Structure 1
Amino acid sequence: MQLFRQLLVAPAAIGLLAPLAVVNSPAAHAADLNINSVSDYTDVANSEEQVTSITQFSDVYPTDWAYQALASLIERYGCVAGYPNGTFGGNRAMTRYEAAALLNACLDRITEVTDELRRLIKEFEKELAIIRGRVDGLEARVGELEATQFSTTTKLSGFTNFVAGATKAKGDNFRFEKGGVGARDDYNRSWGAFTFSYDLRLSLKTSFTGKDLLFTRLRAGNMGRTSTWTGGGVLMNTLNTAAPGGNVLGVDRLYYRFPLGSSFTIQAGPLTRNTEMMGYKPSAYAKGGQTVLDFFGGSLGVPGVWNKETGGGFGAIYSNKSNVSKGDPYWTLAANYVADAGEASDGNPTTGGIMTDNSEANFTSQIAYGNKQWGLALGYRYGQCGARFRTATEYAFSESFGTPCSVATGTFIDGDGEEQDILERSGASSNSFSFNAFWRPEDSGWMPSISAGLGKSYLNGNSTWDDFTSKRGMASWMVGLTWTDVLMKSNALGYAVGQPQFVYDDEDFVADGGYAMELWYKFQVADNISVTPSVYWLSRPLGDFTQNYKGDYKSFGVFGGVIQTVFKF
């Protein structure tokens, strides 16, 4: 306690006791002691008219070297008094009697504070014991985690989605060829069964500096090419959670991301995705919910640009977010190059490789402006022949992907005497543009968030490629609404409508247009478990193949119902 008191009165000792050496010197005489002054000082120090502000002293100024020490004693402890004439007398020598009076007043105040603290500690003794127990428990848990964690640099998270549901074709049962099975019956016979599938993702996030990220994702599923949910039957049927098949765990994402200065981020890897290098997602659709169709979810209604190409590549992202106030809108500019995974690892330049004519590569860029509440973005993607548009009508898919990237321009006889075609690169490519915007209210209520996307694509090629396509222009659009905290907190409701990639021409703008719409509701069962039932309708997913059957207008659509149960850990 003596040491504690000495620390508290240190300012007084430094600022006021220095002159004692002069008082105690041989030159000091008993006559120098003014007992009346000491008595006056003591009376004022013990009176109720205590000095409460240093400004009450007429002879103390902010430029004085002990000004801060004196102010602290007055304002924090109230144990400093002056003389009856309103002065402090800071430049005059201090007697032992004056020092004793000052120290006694300060020690009395310190004793009062100490007694008050004792009373508070005793009053909240139970609460302090509870807090102490919680701290001890946290220390034990932290120690246990440190002892059992598999890595000090890597964090593991998991996502599992159980997908149960079925689809059914509706409309005319027309036949594409004489004697063939009707389109409706053929679909229901091949794709109409109720199925139960899963999508499992294990993400490993590793950081070596605290600012970089080595991202590895392991994925497994039992969907694959034979599943309805991966575009079986019609491409527009693809779900956003469509997983690979075979029940085999494999690496489907592997890249490294690191900052370059305060505004740039670089990402590169053998399994990176172009849409994950955009730096900004200009959509609020299904935020807080669970997406259903891939067209509305991962493709944002513009599959020409947001085609989710994955493979070997690299990208750069610029953002001035760190230079603006929190919550204010900011700029994001991104550009990346991704070659298809199958071609990126192919060492033969005539069939694959990086930066070759046969890479099936995508150059994607986006400029965006906004924050978490609203945003706008313009996107562009250049795709080599074979680079996918992702979700489209069957007619648009055949027009863009059914065209060959290499054509035969002649023949030659090989060493075995066999005739072989002379293949020439067709030079086919595509240019796609997109515009996305979103807005969401600050508070949940009857007003939903609104997300919209509009895309347009053009096919290009040389004269050799012209013979394989009849239409060059394609378009897509979507509008999505999301309500949060519906009926219960953390539950969400969503609805979206739009047209996946379709072919158009000047004479008949909607020659190939097929509509898609979905409705879903997410139940938050627990913190890490949610259940989302949903229904959707695909109007004329065959596109122009439906309308042009024998010149008659025919109807053909697919109705789907899906329940997704998501577990996160």
Structure 2
Amino acid sequence: MKLFKRLLLAPAGIGSLAVGVYANPLSITGVSDYAAHSYLSSGEQVTSITQFSDVVPTDWAYQALSNLIERYGCVAGYPNGTYRGNRAMTRFEAAALLNACLDRITEVTDELKRLMKEFEPELAILKGRVDGLEARVGELEATQFATTTKLEGLVTFVIGANRFGGNDQALAARPNVDNANREYGATTFNYDALLALNTSFTGKDNLIAVLRSGNFDGDLNAFGGAFLPVSTLETAFQEGETPNYLVINKLFYTFPIGSDFVVTAGGLVGQEDMLGFWPSVYPSDPILDVLTLNGAPGAYNKTLGAGAGLTWSRGGVSVTANYVAANGNSSNAREGGMATDGSAGSGTVQLGFEQEQWGIAAIYSSIQNTNGKGEANGLIASGTQFVSDSYEHAGSTSAFGLSGYWQPEESGLIPSISLGWGINQTTYDKSVYQDKKIAADLLVSTSQSWSVGLNWSDVFLQGNHAGMAVGQPIFATALVDDSVPRDGNYVWEWWYQFMVSDNISVTPGLFYLSRPLGQETSEGKSFSQLGALVKTSFSF
């Protein structure tokens, strides 16, 4: 009601103002001119402010007048194409203008009512859907785990077996071929379950907690690396000697500083989690773990422990520096701590550059080879168990890697290519290994590695993938005593991933290790491993 009164009083107010200022008598001629000429002399309705010859963009009411013309079409001019914006308005003129605008608004309102009536059933259906969505959103908000946390999961079943071949029946400190088939040749059915909690407090940061469980028994299962570490599956997990235990596998926090820097830190973080760039498009979980490390298992050592890292990136260029101590949670300086002799630490610097279809990275890592857990990081190619059991800190290694990838614009016969190469230089405390009576020909001073991975998309069916990779994991090229190493082992894998649905995949695969014992293979003899498996993965 107040709005209606204002509309009725508006012409009177405008007219009074005009009379008070100009003291002009009522002009019926002016009224008739304005009221009669809703069209220009050309007979066309005013649809644009540019049709008025005396209105320019610098006029203070230019935008308001333009809006009235374009939105409502209720502004008229004079037959000569002018608007006469500075002319005084009479009450009759104000009434005519107001009436024209109200008529136009009435037309729009009537049209809206007609459309609403015409689409009344559809509007009712939409309203019902919106009400239903609001109810579901309310229910989700009331029962959600957390407003800041997202849960993701991956469960993998693996069924497979291994077959060992060759003619070496007298392996030093190792089972022979027959014993290997008897002890590690059975068909097994294992699982790996991973739950990742991603929590963001600002929308840009991320607190990551990874819970994991598995039953790839470290002492009994060949797929878990019990016999030959190089045949460890990427998906194989077990915490120590306790299968089926759910443990915290990773826990770290990442946040940006400005627009170019990202900080990552945590009490349980992997070296790979803090890299600004991963120079490969080969899948991270096909079969063997060693073939996912960009051809440089020394430099990309995936050391897991307490650590922190900083990454700078801009325009495709990234620079990363990080440090991880596998024993960083121990207060005993001989067996743990940060940056101590017992840290089992790895310091890494990486420079990477990537574009839409390709990328390349150079990486350097300084590694403490062994730790209080007897883990050698795979850098002592022969006599590993003897060295790590006898001496907790068997020197240090400088590892360098160069890796890159290229992928086609579209899927087809041409695969994506990922390749890399690494070289490692290891030094030892001479007095210690002499005191322990460790033979120098069991200690590697220089080693190398390389790999090439190919993968195809949309193979046979859209969404399915296939791939293969070949490489040589770390193999000795020089020994401490300058003797000629008899090391070397080629690793192959082939796989095909069939997507049952968006969340379920089945991946049959084969892998072959030509000489997995390296120098420990008897001279003139052979020893190999063939593995076959089927992986079924469920992601949610």
Percent sequence identity is: 48
Relative to structure 1, the CA distance from residue 64 to residue 188 in structure 2 (aligned partners, 3 Å threshold; closer, same or farther) is same
Partner of 2:98, secondary structure, is helix
Could you tell me which of 389, 399, 424 is aligned with 1:432? 399
CA distance in 1, matches of 2:363, 2:201: 32
Deviation at 1:172, TM superposition (A): 2.3
Q: Which residue of 2 aligns with 1:53?
A: 48
Q: What amino acid maps onto 1:117 in structure 2?
A: L
Q: Assess if the C-alpha contact under 8 Å between 1:505 and 1:511 holds in 2.
A: no
Q: Which residue of 2 aligns with 1:139?
A: 134
Partner of 2:289, secondary structure, is coil
CA distance in 2, matches of 1:426, 1:480: 34
CA distance in 2, matches of 1:187, 1:119: 84
Q: What amino acid maps onto 1:568 in structure 2?
A: S
**Structure 1 residue 318 and structure 2 residue 328: aligned?**
no
Deviates more, 1:36-45 or 1:52-61: 36-45
Could you tell me which of 334, 337, 343 is aligned with 1:350? 334
Partner of 1:25, secondary structure, is helix
Relative to structure 1, the CA distance from residue 184 to residue 272 in structure 2 (aligned partners, 3 Å threshold; closer, same or farther) is same
Q: Which residue of 1 aligns with 2:105?
A: 110
Deviation at 1:88, TM superposition (A): 0.8
**Structure 1 residue 171 and structure 2 residue 166: aligned?**
yes
**What does residue range 259-408 of structure 1 map to in structure 2 within 5 Å?**
259-286=256-283, 290-297=285-292, 299-320=293-314, 329-340=315-326, 343-371=327-355, 373-386=357-370, 390=377, 396-398=380-382, 402-403=386-387
Deviation at 1:265, TM superposition (A): 1.8
Q: Assess if the C-alpha contact under 8 Å between 1:344 and 1:352 holds in 2.
A: yes
1:395-417 superposed Cα distances (whole Å, 9 cap, x missing partner): x533567546986xxxxxxxxxx
**Structure 1 residue 503 and structure 2 residue 470: aligned?**
no
Could you tell me which of 194, 212, 215 is aligned with 1:219? 212
Q: Which residue of 1 aligns with 2:538?
A: 567
Q: Assess if the C-alpha contact under 8 Å between 2:14 and 2:91 holds in 1.
A: no
Partner of 2:500, secondary structure, is strand
1:192-238 superposed Cα distances (whole Å, 9 cap, x missing partner): 00000011112222233333222222211111312111212222211
Q: Which residue of 1 aligns with 2:222?
A: 228
**What does residue range 21-60 of structure 1 map to in structure 2 within 5 Å?**
21-25=16-20, 28-30=23-25, 32-33=26-27, 35-45=28-38, 48-60=43-55
Could you tell me which of 486, 501, 510 is aligned with 2:459? 486
Deviates more, 1:462-471 or 1:492-501: 462-471
Q: Which residue of 1 aligns with 2:502?
A: 527
Q: Which residue of 1 aligns with 2:519?
A: 544
CA distance in 1, matches of 2:4, 2:200: 45
Gaps of 5+ in 2: none
Relative to structure 1, the CA distance from residue 565 to residue 426 in structure 2 (aligned partners, 3 Å threshold; closer, same or farther) is closer
Q: Which residue of 1 aligns with 2:68?
A: 73
Deviation at 1:17, TM superposition (A): 9.5
Q: Which residue of 2 aligns with 1:555?
A: 526
CA distance in 2, matches of 1:5, 1:475: 91
Partner of 1:39, secondary structure, is helix
Q: Which residue of 2 aligns with 1:253?
A: 250
Q: Which residue of 2 aligns with 1:185?
A: 178
CA distance in 1, matches of 2:73, 2:6: 17
**What does residue range 406-417 of structure 1 map to in structure 2 within 5 Å?**
none
Deviation at 1:361, TM superposition (A): 0.7
Q: Assess if the C-alpha contact under 8 Å between 2:295 and 2:401 holds in 1.
A: no
Deviation at 1:250, TM superposition (A): 1.3
Relative to structure 1, the CA distance from residue 116 to residue 492 in structure 2 (aligned partners, 3 Å threshold; closer, same or farther) is farther
CA distance in 1, matches of 2:279, 2:270: 17
Relative to structure 1, the CA distance from residue 279 to residue 76 in structure 2 (aligned partners, 3 Å threshold; closer, same or farther) is same
Deviates more, 1:261-270 or 1:17-26: 17-26
Relative to structure 1, the CA distance from residue 68 to residue 17 in structure 2 (aligned partners, 3 Å threshold; closer, same or farther) is farther
CA distance in 1, matches of 2:370, 2:51: 85
CA distance in 2, matches of 1:5, 1:161: 74
Q: Assess if the C-alpha contact under 8 Å between 1:363 and 1:383 holds in 2.
A: yes
Deviation at 1:153, TM superposition (A): 3.0
Deviates more, 1:364-373 or 1:432-441: 364-373
Q: Which residue of 2 aligns with 1:205?
A: 198
Relative to structure 1, the CA distance from residue 485 to residue 427 in structure 2 (aligned partners, 3 Å threshold; closer, same or farther) is closer
Q: Assess if the C-alpha contact under 8 Å between 1:307 and 1:389 holds in 2.
A: no
CA distance in 2, matches of 1:17, 1:405: 103
Q: Assess if the C-alpha contact under 8 Å between 1:303 and 1:389 holds in 2.
A: no
Partner of 2:382, secondary structure, is helix
Q: What amino acid maps onto 1:257 in structure 2?
A: T
Relative to structure 1, the CA distance from residue 283 to residue 558 in structure 2 (aligned partners, 3 Å threshold; closer, same or farther) is same
Deviation at 1:38, TM superposition (A): 2.9
Q: What amino acid maps onto 1:527 in structure 2?
A: D
1:417-453 superposed Cα distances (whole Å, 9 cap, x missing partner): xxxxxxxx97711000111111223333333221111
Q: What amino acid maps onto 1:219 in structure 2?
A: R
1:307-364 superposed Cα distances (whole Å, 9 cap, x missing partner): 11111111112222xxxxxxxx512111111111xx2222211222111122111101
Q: What amino acid maps onto 2:155 in structure 1?
A: T
**Structure 1 residue 240 and structure 2 residue 237: aligned?**
no
Q: What amino acid maps onto 2:324 in structure 1?
A: V
Relative to structure 1, the CA distance from residue 134 to residue 501 in structure 2 (aligned partners, 3 Å threshold; closer, same or farther) is farther
Q: How many residues align?
A: 522
CA distance in 2, matches of 1:426, 1:182: 27
CA distance in 2, matches of 1:26, 1:236: 98
Q: Assess if the C-alpha contact under 8 Å between 1:428 and 1:465 holds in 2.
A: no
Gaps of 5+ in 1: 8-12, 321-328, 408-424
CA distance in 2, matches of 1:26, 1:255: 76
CA distance in 1, matches of 2:245, 2:404: 38
Deviation at 1:151, TM superposition (A): 2.7
Partner of 1:397, secondary structure, is coil
Deviation at 1:562, TM superposition (A): 1.2
Could you tell me which of 409, 416, 419 is aligned with 1:442? 409
TM-score normalised by length of structure 1: 0.84
Deviates more, 1:496-505 or 1:16-25: 16-25
Partner of 2:459, secondary structure, is coil
Q: Which residue of 2 aligns with 1:95?
A: 90
CA distance in 1, matches of 2:234, 2:445: 27
1:492-522 superposed Cα distances (whole Å, 9 cap, x missing partner): 1111111111111499999422111111111
Partner of 2:82, secondary structure, is coil
